[in-house]
Amino acid sequence: MSLLLLAGCHQSVDEVSVRSENVGFTRTEPVSVNVAPAASTENPINGLKRTGIEPNFLKIPAIDVEAQVQHLGVTENGEMAVPNNIEDVSWFSPGYVPGENGRSVIAGHVDGVDGPAIFWDLAKLQLGDEVVIQGEEKTLTFKVHTMESVPLDLADVTKVFGYTSSPELVLITCSGTYDFDRGTREERLIVYASLVEE
């Protein structure tokens, strides 16, 4: 899958590049996942499978984010579709569902023509901060373990959208300097979070 991540973040004033200049962290110890053993008559791999939820609402208490989740896919030119406003976020619906094994991706704008957008403070997240996803009948909590800002041309699509053996959530927004020729910022701020088991 070849996707241009989040085309079209706005604003010519470059406060975003300053705010995201020195971000980045990762947890050094591995994520622990408790999986109940499968019944002896079942294939053991079934004990590792999880079902997820279609996300309707996102909360990030540490940075006071609350947003509706749009369900989007890919644009006509092969780019990941992004919200049509600066208040909502979008879930990449052709990918993994939050809560199932694999990386579920949610995108939001960092800024717009008139100023800050929903993920304006995403770079302020810290190790262990919670991200809450609400579906129709269930709520899932994820904890942040890694943040990085990577050049757009070097963003590893397989890493961002790929399979993992445990449920993960990826938050993505624009960062870095605004590139007027491309009509977007030069980097992407990517936050990885792991499901908190009940």
As a whole number, mean pLDDT of residues 34-45 equals: 47
Q: Which of 148, 185, 130, 155 is nearest to 16 (CA)?
A: 185
Q: pLDDT band for position 152 (50/70/90)?
A: confident
pLDDT at 26: 65
Q: How many domains does the chain have?
A: 1
Q: Is residue 44 part of a domain?
A: no
Predicted pLDDT at 173: 92
* Residue at 190 is within a domain: yes
Q: Is residue 43 part of a domain?
A: no
Amino acid code (one letter) for 146? T
Report CA Rg, the chain.
17
Rounded to whole angstroms, the Cα distance separating 14 from 1 reads: 31
Is 107 domain-assigned? yes
Contact by Cβ (8 Å): 91, 71:
yes
CATH code, 155: 2.40.260.10
**Catalytic position from the list 9, 10, 145, 174:** 174
> Which residue among 9, 10, 109, 145 is the active-site one?
109
In a domain, 189, yes or no: yes
Task: Indicate if 174 belongs to the active site.
Answer: yes
Give tens-digit pLDDT for 16-37: 666 666 666 666 555 554 444 4
- Tell me whether residue 9 is one of the annotated catalytic residues: no
Q: pLDDT digit string (tens) for 64-85?
A: 999 999 999 999 988 889 999 9
Q: With respect to residue 56, please indicate whether it lies within any of the assigned structural domains.
A: no
Domain range for 187: 15-26+66-195
